[in-house]
Structure 1
């Protein structure tokens, strides 16, 4: 009897661990997505990333809501107040105050009608490889007319970030200076004014 009690307890412990720390999947008709647990950041709020807050008594309902919402790639579920915040990219979930009872989940794969795509910054057959950022570009830049206006003290930038820049007199910025999904930069370009 002690044998069964011991191994039943181990089995239940493994199931509980998987439920709390593993990938959460959500399926809606022909659309599904997989999510993995990520970090919760405090008081670093960027309103452009936030999509909406919904009331949800179960974490799976939160996953379903994110999968149904166009552009949603991440959600923050708080069991303490049954809330679910939806975000449009895969950075840290952001909130103010007490984070106890809150978990952040980032989309690792999205499939619709048997076609799967990886979110921004991830690649590979199972979206298992991640490129999370680009190293800050340093002078000399590819275009000699580029004048950087971004914070050069920052060493790494998230995928999708656009750096600000201006150009030498009689030139204007023509291309976004963007951190691409492969971890390299879309180079800035200054074009001459046409008079």
Structure 2
């Protein structure tokens, strides 16, 4: 997809701050250091619309990126690394759960995992939670440029097995360095948006 317009349109911590438009939404979920900001920037051809941080766990709000006036990417706080106090983490948890469970415009969740490592306990818990609520998941294995091509399939098999991936959920390789997989991810997202 050719992205001609992208902006951070809304920052929300509660329901009344969500966009009121009926545009379809794709949520982005993953560990704090999995490369969500880099993923967003590569997908929309921008260097720094989504801020990348050396300090994992920086996103503490739901960030709605409007793309081509036709779809929102919704960046949710990363899990697994945030150094915030427990009450704060619990508040984020409630905010994220409320959004994912109740949002009619949500078409699917892109769950980012690092292709170099087996899914973490947090990755597994998140995937299992999404499946419990029948939310479609597009699993995107990031940082594919960091391992040799000959090992991709082996790593994808580990991810699929460890997550107990539902057969209908896509599992796609991606690199924000080389743009590998970008078109395939866009095509998959647009497929879910048009459902």
Give the TM-score of the pair, scaled to structure 1: 0.30
Larger relative helix fraction: 2
Larger relative strand fraction: 1
Larger Rg belongs to:
1
Greater RCO between the two (CA within 8 Å, min separation 6)?
2
Give the TM-score of the pair, scaled to structure 2: 0.30
